[in-house]
Amino acid sequence: MFEKFTQDARNIVVLAQRESRELSHSYIGSEHLLLALVLDLGVVGRAFADLNITYAAVNNKIIEIIGRGNVTPAGHSPFTPRASSILRLANEISEQSGHGHIGPEHLVFALLEAKDSVGAQALVALGAKPSAVRRLVSASFARSYTGGQIFQGFTAAAVGGPYDTNPLRDTAEEAAADATVGQEVREIRFGLERSEYFIAVNGGGLPVEEVGRHLDYNRARTAAENAGAHVHFVVPQVKAVTAQTAAGIEVALAETIVWEPVRFDTRVEVLS
């Protein structure tokens, strides 16, 4: 997996090792990855800077949460199970995005998914909303996403109803095992277009922010089910943040992403 890391992502791992040593910890955890990501010189580091999340503030918060170690370790420190899972998820996000590489943006998205990790807890304690970090990083991430994934399989769905109630299965028999009263098995196909994601949306059409955006259909469906919502597609629209000068001239200050939902059932092709 590490062969897929960009040089910037490898620098993050090296910095995380250094931050672990600085705190006299004998492991590399999510908190050390966070410290390294704050020092990133690219879009991730700029996102944290825009949110006024500084290295000093993160370092102090981590010490407050878990403290320093007693002895500076010798040799290479191992990744904790949590940090290892973050690296694996970063790889999944990269693969699902069609990127073929793992960069700092994949690492930070994966860390934000690990809500009970020390790194994520430190961010929340500092007042940084995961959704705000995602929004700032996504402007760059969306431009680089190549998309084009096709999802096809069998699902148990309400007769004439939505198709986001059950996971996709490889066979009709597997889908039939999911079916309940009033449902039928259908073979369907749909695909993500460039820069699209799946998102859980409530009955009123509002995004359910806490379940996040996903590039995998089954992951999105599970998150939506847990939140009592439905799966939609969302398309990121890059829009300028503007302001007027004293002379009344409108100037662009920055860019932000506005995620526009697209109804899921309008994109499903029924194959049988």
Asked if 9 and 110 count as a contact pair (C-beta separation under 8 A), the reply is no
Q: What percent of the chain has pLDDT over 70?
A: 84
The predicted model scores a pTM of 0.56
45-54, 90-99, 160-169, 209-218: which is most confident = 45-54
Residue 153 has pLDDT above 60, yes or no: yes
Residue-wise pLDDT for 204-229, tens only, equals 666 676 666 677 788 888 888 888 88
Highest mean pLDDT among 73-87, 186-200, 207-221: 73-87
CA angle 58, 21, 57 (to 5 degrees): 10
Give Cβ neighbours of residue 184 (< 8 Å, ≥ 6 apart): 156, 157, 159
Higher-scoring residue by pLDDT: 252, 33: 33
Domain boundaries, the chain: 2-144, 150-270
Statement: residue 181 has pLDDT above 80: yes
- Residue 248 clears pLDDT 90, i.e. is over it: no
CB atoms within 10 A of CB 74: 8
What pLDDT is attached to residue 194? 62
- Please give the pLDDT value at position 97: 65
Nearest to 133 by CA among 195, 211, 62, 52: 52
Instruction: Tell me what pLDDT residue 195 has.
Output: 62
Note the pLDDT of residue 121. 92
DSSP 3-state percent helix, strand, coil across the chain (nearest 5): 45, 20, 35
Query: Looking at the domain 2-144, which fold is it?
Result: Double Clp-N motif (1.10.1780)
